Each structure stands twice: as structure tokens, then as C-alpha cells.
Amino acid sequence: MTSRTQISIEGMTCVSCARNIEGFIRTLPGVRSVEVSFPLEKAFVELDGSVIGAAEVAQKITANLGYKAFAESGMEEETAGEKEAKNHREEVRRQRNYAVISWLIAIPVMLGTFREYLGLSAFVPGILSNSYVLWLLTTPLMFGPGRQFFVGTYRGLKHGFTDMNLLVATGTGAAYILGIINTLFPNAGFGGPKVAFFETAALLIAFLVLGRYLEALTRGRASEAIKKLMGLKVKTARVVRNGAEAVIDIDAIVVGDLIIVKPGEKIPVDGIVREGYSAVDESMITGESIPVEKRAGDPVIGATINKSGLITCEAVKIGKDTMLSQIVKFIEEAQLAKPKIQKLADKVSANFILIVHVIALLVFLFWFFAGYDLFFAAGSKFLLSSTVLSSVPASVFAVLLSITVLIISCPCAVGLATPSAIMAGTAKGAEKGILIRGGDALERASKIQVVVLDKTGTLTKGQPSLTDLVKSADAEETEVLRLAASAEKGSEHPLGEAIVKAAEEKGMVMEKISDFEAIPGHGIKARVGGKQIYLGNRSLMADKNIPVPAALAAQMETLEGEGKTVMILAADGRIQGLIGVADTLKENSKKAVQKLQALGMKAVMLTGDNQRTAKAIAAKIGIKDVLAEVLPERKAEEIKKIQKEGYKVAMVGDGINDAPALTQAEVGIAIGSGSDIAKEAGQIILVKDDLRDIISAFDLSKKTMSKIKENLFWAFVYNALGVPIAAGILYPPLRLLVSPELAGLFMAVSSVSVTLNTLRLKRYQPKPI
């Protein structure tokens, strides 16, 4: 029995940790697939429940890798969320305290070391320059805030994993040990007590811990949207039990409970209004800013706010089935679908730690055996520093450059570039009622050239009404409607419903039918009062060899020219009349199509209607390209044809009915899907029934993709420039070196700048259309 489960993991410090944990979980028996998200601090595991359970996987992670892990499947969603938030707050607080302690120690160490160089003798007590004092100050820093790097390294190496902790631990550890050697054996040849190295270790730790603090802080902000959504959940509800009102815990609600929601209160779960009338603010779920009117029979979404009247709702979906829970789940899972662009980044960062150590070794060997003799001169300067490097032996000089390479090369910025942007983009979309199924969908949506829009339910409201009734010479108008409505009574097609509704409004009594059969794309057949009825389009009549009189055919063309769908009614092989039905356009269809075209995309309308009707409707909206008379099962074929012409196609339609076409398209956009998000086939789901959200979805995708590209560009540029400089490329011409502490600062800045750049997406607002 395969099940999908989430495991929260604490203590990951960078994407390498996530990758390592992923590798470990994958080796466990019964695990089918696994994705670990560093920004979400979660593992999404598909496992065979008969072999291994989620709790067991979590326990193995903790026992073998040392990360605190707990399975969420056994916990209430809210408790898991609260625990995550609490853990995150604790992590931020811990790193903040570490950062404060580190700087309180690192600054005196720095002042003591550079007392003479910086002319601070008058202000800084001489005792601070004593290398034993510096050792004493640096030691608690190494074993306090710096301990996390060594613990992380040990944890990783124990299982053959390497991550950024190793880079930091080797760098700071080497600097600290050099400092001790210089202190204990000043004449050992490492430059003596004046080349302390303690300040290198201390400042390095201080910068790195500061980087971790800022990263924890910004990472929390990036996932704020999900937490905000989870925070919308109501804790209690007022239900009617045994005829009396009772306030109960949200988890005690069962399907079918009647819930009373007063004005100003949140609707606790998804349901249907049974009594009352009110306006409901759904902005937090759908992004719709104007409150939506709700009356008996209307669906309501949990966590939305009842603005005006008292309503009684029947609970329809509770717990994990509610729209809110599904949205949260959707977004979390969406962040795991990686775009192609990340593959390169992944490949690079996966090999990075190994490559960096190889480079560090090569750098050491070069400077030890050749570079030092060729280029070294005492009095060399460090970049952005007044510190001067005194005469040091080849080994110290080469180790120094080697350490700097290790420190400057953390792949965190590369690793963070894509997931952080996807997280911000998908969360921003969700805020606006646009659910994007991950990085892959974002990437594809940003490249769309042709947008195919299904007509019924997408461009139009999908609720047609009867507009024309034309009888043949030997039939009665009422009889035409009665026969058609009786036949359609068994149909669930919207056109049929329009005819039945019209007949009911006229108080007609429908006849009993038998042998009902829907003929997809053509119409229906049924036996009504002993008569064989066919109701459908021209091709149905042609198939049944029933000729349409010329006068009626002409009228049919006229009605179709007006954009109406015309059905022909035949009884016992004779045409009885025509029934014209028209669907009304959605308010924003025209605006949305115009905007799509203005953005350079080609809009195509797809419909089962005949050419004439389809063209008339398309003309009203401003669409030139129409694919008419397309049977439902042929929709995907039509998409394929456009793709064969070399276009990237998006299909907009009903998430459930148009599933094959939505899947065939590069991007399937399901619109106004109601609450069945989990069932949707689309890569993008528009919660709100508003076509303008398509534009926002494309726009947001482009913005997110450009953010990913910017992030990757800067992350790679940083490493491409940083590593050669750290390796000493500037040394032969300029006698300039990068100090390990400056490398530490660069590293922290690169990660933080990538995250901050991503956070600019938070300010994104869809352009008004």
C-alpha cells in the first residue's frame, strides 16, 4: 500500500543537507520516492506502508543523521504547523544569540590583533594583543556558536556526506589550530605570535553565524505565505447539536453538521448555505477583493469571513479535505516540482563540495611548490583591509589561500536561487487565487505563445438559456418545446438544462421517456410518448438521414450567425422545429483576451459548436482563430496539432472535463474549479472564476522565472569570480589576497542577497486589466 507522507526535519543548514537526507531516505527499504525541501524543512516521502512507516523513517533520520525529524501524518495539521513555526522561531532566536555572542567576542579579538596596525593603542588595552588572551577569547567562540559547524561536519562525515559545514569547519579549524601553534611555538616558523590567525577563526565564525541568522530570518519570511494561509484556520465553530447551539472544537465537526456563522465570524469549514443571506469575504482564498453574495444553496469556503448576515451552513468538507488544507498541500508539493533550469544548478551544487576540496588541494599544491617561490613578498595586503601579511613560510601561505577557497565557495546561493524563488512565486500566486503546480509549470507558463480557451464555462458562463423556438410548418411551438424538454430531462448537458428550465418556467408537464442515449458531440436520442426523438445538430440529422427543410435551414444559419447554438428536433423521422440557446459571455472574457493579444499571445477558441455559432461568439470577444465542431475527445488532438506547428500552448478549461486537453498542453489552466483542487488536471488552477487571472498567472510566472535567472546568474557569477580571487589570481600582479574572514562575509552576503532578491517578489501585484 503506497502512501504519501510529510516529515518535518529540523537542523538543515543548506541545500546540501537536504540532498544528503534525500539520499539517505532513498536507501531505506519501502521508500518509493522522496523529495526534501530545504526552504520548507520537510521531506515528502512516498512509501510502502507495509514495509516502513513515516514515524520509522523520521526516527531513522534522527538516529542516523542527527537531524530532528518527526512524521506529520500522525499529527493534526495545525499541531504540525504550530510545531514547525515554534521550531523556526527557536532557530532564529538561537542563531541571533549566537551572532550577538560571536560579534561580542570577535570584535575584541579583531581589535587586539590589529591594535598596532590600526593605531588603536590608545584605546585598546595592550593585554588584548596577547596571543594567549586571544586564544582564550576565541576558544568559547569555536566551541559555542562555532560548534554547530563541527557537529554538522561530524554528522555528515559519519555517513560519508559532505556539506557546507565541512568547508567552514576545515577553514575555521585550520585557522584556529595555526593560531594555537603560533601561540605555543612562536618560533615554529608560522610567522610567530604576530600572525595570530585567531582573528581569522573568530571573524569567520562571526560572519558565518550572522549569515545563518539572516538566512533563517529570510527563509521564514519566504514561507510566510503558507504559514499565513495555515493561520487562517478557525479553531472553534458554533454548531447545532440536538437542537441546541454548542461551541465545539473545529476537529469535532462532522460532515452534515449545521454550523451557525454570525456576521464578522469566519466560516469554519467548506459547506453549503442552508439558511440566511450574507456577503462573504473570500479574498484570503480566491484573491477576490469584493465580498461575494451567498444565499441558500450557495457553496461557502472555510476560513472566509461572513461580512453581513447570519447564515447557517451545512458542513460538506472537513479537516484535510477543505479547500484551505488542499491549497496549503498543493503549494507545499508545488515547491518540489523542479524546473529544468534547476537541473544545471543541481548538478553543479551536487558536485560542488567535492570540486571545491579538489580545487583547495590544487591551490595549496600550486602555492606551496611554485607560487610562493615565484610571487611571494612580505608586506602583501588583504583585499578591503589594512592588514599586512608579514613573512610567512610557504606552507602557511598556501594553507591560507586554500582555506579562503574553501570558505568562499559555499554553494548555498546556487542552491537557494531556484527553490526560494519558486516558493515566493507559488505563495504569491496562492495569495491571489492562482495555484501554480511548481517550478516546472512556472517555467512552461513563462514561454507560452498560444492560449487555447474552451468556450463553454471558460469564455462563457456555461449556463445557456433558451432564446429562440422555431417550429416547422406542421408542428406546434409548445409541442416542440415539450418534446425537446421531455427528451432532455434525462440529460445533464447545459444546453438540455436550458430547454428543461424554459419548459418548467412555462408550467409544462414533461412526458416519461425511455431509451435515452446521449450521442457525444451530436445530441441525444430518446423515445417520448411512443415517438422516436432526435435532438441535436446537423450531423446528427445527416447520420439519421432526416432532411432539414430549406426554410428551417436558412433560419438556423441566421440564428447561428448571431452566436446562438441551434438544435434541431426530429420526431419519427420528421423535423419538428429548431431550438436556439445562447450562453452569455463572462464579464471579463473580452478584456482578458484583448490583454493576451496585447501581450503577443495568440488566443484560440475551442468549442463543440458549429463554425458559424463559434465564429459569432469569437467575434464578440475579439478572437480570430476558432476551432469549432471539436468533439470532447478530440480536444487534445487539436492541441497536439498546434504544438506540431512549433507553438508552446496553454489550454484553459474545466479542470475535470477537459483533463486530456489540459494534460496535452504545455500548461493546462483549470478555471473556477470549486473546491476539488486535488482532482484537477491543470498545472495552474484558478480558484476564482475570472479569466483575467490567466494574465496574472503568466505575468507571475515570467516574474518568478526572471527572478530565478537573476538569482542563478548572481550566484554563479559570485562563485566564478570569488574562487579565482580567493585562489590568489590577483596576487601575482597586485600582491592582493582575500582574507578568509572576508571570504566568509562574501559567502554570507551571497546567500542573503539571493534570498532578499527573491523576497522582492512579495511586493508583486497583478497589473489591473
Partner 1 sequence: MLNNKPFFVALGLSLFLTALFVVGALSKSGITSLDLYLGSAWVFILSMIISLSLPHHLAKHGDKDRNNHVH
Rank residues 399 and 524 by Cβ distance to partner 1 and give the closer one: 399
Largest interatomic CA distance in the chain:
121
Rank residues 157 and 508 by Cβ distance to partner 1 and give the closer one: 157
Least distance from partner 1 to the Cβ atom of residue 169, Å: 10
- Which residue in 38, 176, 190, 698 binds partner 1 (CB under 8 A)? 190
Rank residues 380 and 402 by Cβ distance to partner 1 and give the closer one: 402
> Phi then psi for 238, rounded to 5 degrees?
-100, 110
Rank residues 104 and 378 by Cβ distance to partner 1 and give the closer one: 378
Chain centroid, CA 318 distance in Å: 24
Least distance from partner 1 to the Cβ atom of residue 178, Å: 8
Q: Residues 32-51: x/- map of binding to partner 1 (CB under 8 A)?
A: xx------------------
- Which range touches partner 1 (CB under 8 A), out of 136-144, 203-211, 263-271, 395-403? 395-403
275 vs 603: CA distance, rounded Å:
42
Least distance from partner 1 to the Cβ atom of residue 294, Å: 44
Strands (E), 201-269: 236-241, 244-249, 258-261
Picking from 591, 339, 324, 338, the residue whose alpha carbon sits closest to that of residue 435 is 324
Rank residues 68 and 159 by Cβ distance to partner 1 and give the closer one: 159
Give DSSP secondary structure letters for 119-174.
T-TTTS-GGGG-HHHHHHHHHHHHHTTTHHHHHHHHHHHHTT---HHHHHHHHHHH
Least distance from partner 1 to the Cβ atom of residue 606, Å: 33
Q: Does 184 bind partner 1 (CB under 8 A)?
A: no
Count CB atoms within 10 A of the CB of residue 54: 22
Rank residues 350 and 730 by Cβ distance to partner 1 and give the closer one: 350
What three-state secondary structure class fits 222?
helix
- Which range touches partner 1 (CB under 8 A), out of 154-162, 202-210, 666-674, 757-765? 154-162
- Which residue in 188, 246, 554, 631 binds partner 1 (CB under 8 A)? 188
Rank residues 401 and 628 by Cβ distance to partner 1 and give the closer one: 401
Q: In 302-327, which positions are buried (b, 16+ CB within 10 angstroms) versus exposed (e)? A: bbbbbbbbebbbbbbbbeebbbbbbb
Q: Does 27 bind partner 1 (CB under 8 A)?
A: yes
Span between the terminal Cα atoms of the chain, in Å: 48
For the segment 698-717, give every residue that binds partner 1 (CB under 8 A): none
536 vs 540: CA distance, rounded Å:
6
CB 725 within 8 A of CB 462: no
- Which residue in 75, 232, 248, 394 binds partner 1 (CB under 8 A)? 394
Q: Does 262 bind partner 1 (CB under 8 A)?
A: no
654 vs 104: CA distance, rounded Å:
60
What three-state secondary structure class fits 463?
coil
Q: Does 170 bind partner 1 (CB under 8 A)?
A: yes
Tell me how many residues contact partner 1 (CB under 8 A).
38
- Which residue in 71, 399, 451, 579 binds partner 1 (CB under 8 A)? 399
- Which residue in 158, 228, 235, 241 binds partner 1 (CB under 8 A)? 158
- Which range touches partner 1 (CB under 8 A), out of 155-163, 241-249, 379-387, 659-667? 155-163
Q: Does 29 bind partner 1 (CB under 8 A)?
A: no
Q: What is the dihedral of CA 628, 629, 635, 641, to 10 degrees?
A: -60
Q: Does 157 bind partner 1 (CB under 8 A)?
A: yes
Least distance from partner 1 to the Cβ atom of residue 179, Å: 13
572 vs 546: CA distance, rounded Å:
9
Among candidate residues 163, 270, 454, 609, the one labeled active-site is 454
Q: Does 718 bind partner 1 (CB under 8 A)?
A: no
Rank residues 351 and 584 by Cβ distance to partner 1 and give the closer one: 351
172 vs 740: CA distance, rounded Å:
9
* Contact residues for 79 (Cβ-Cβ < 8 A; gap 6+): none
Q: Does 136 bind partner 1 (CB under 8 A)?
A: no
- Which range touches partner 1 (CB under 8 A), out of 72-80, 183-191, 237-245, 578-586? 183-191
- Which range touches partner 1 (CB under 8 A), out of 158-166, 242-250, 337-345, 682-690? 158-166
Q: Residues 530-559: x/- map of binding to partner 1 (CB under 8 A)?
A: ------------------------------
Rank residues 162 and 312 by Cβ distance to partner 1 and give the closer one: 162
Q: Does 23 bind partner 1 (CB under 8 A)?
A: yes
Catalytic (active site) residue 689: no
Picking from 513, 494, 485, the residue whose alpha carbon sits closest to that of residue 579 is 485
Least distance from partner 1 to the Cβ atom of residue 660, Å: 22
Beta strands 649-653 and 667-671, pairing class: parallel
Q: Does 189 bind partner 1 (CB under 8 A)?
A: yes
CB 579 within 8 A of CB 466: yes
* Contact residues for 36 (Cβ-Cβ < 8 A; gap 6+): 9, 12, 18, 19, 21, 22, 25, 42, 43, 44
Least distance from partner 1 to the Cβ atom of residue 350, Å: 8
- Which range touches partner 1 (CB under 8 A), out of 78-86, 161-169, 528-536, 659-667? 161-169
For the segment 339-368, give every residue that binds partner 1 (CB under 8 A): 350-351, 353-354, 357-358, 360-361, 364-365, 368
Secondary structure (H, E, C), 685-711 = EECCCCCHHHHHHHHHHHHHHHHHHHH
421 vs 704: CA distance, rounded Å:
6
* Contact residues for 389 (Cβ-Cβ < 8 A; gap 6+): 195, 378, 379, 380, 381, 382, 397, 737
Q: Does 402 bind partner 1 (CB under 8 A)?
A: yes
Q: Does 104 bind partner 1 (CB under 8 A)?
A: no
Which own/partner pairs from 323-329 qualify as long-range (CB within 8 Å, at least 24 positions apart)?
323/270, 323/285, 323/675, 323/677, 323/687, 324/229, 324/232, 324/233, 324/285, 325/77, 326/675, 326/677, 326/678, 327/229, 327/285, 327/430, 327/435, 327/677, 327/687, 328/77, 328/226, 328/229, 328/230, 329/678
The catalytic residues are: 454
Could you list the residues that contact partner 1 (CB under 8 A)? 19, 23, 26-27, 32-33, 157-162, 166, 170, 174, 178, 188-190, 350-351, 353-354, 357-358, 360-361, 364-365, 368-369, 393-396, 398-399, 402
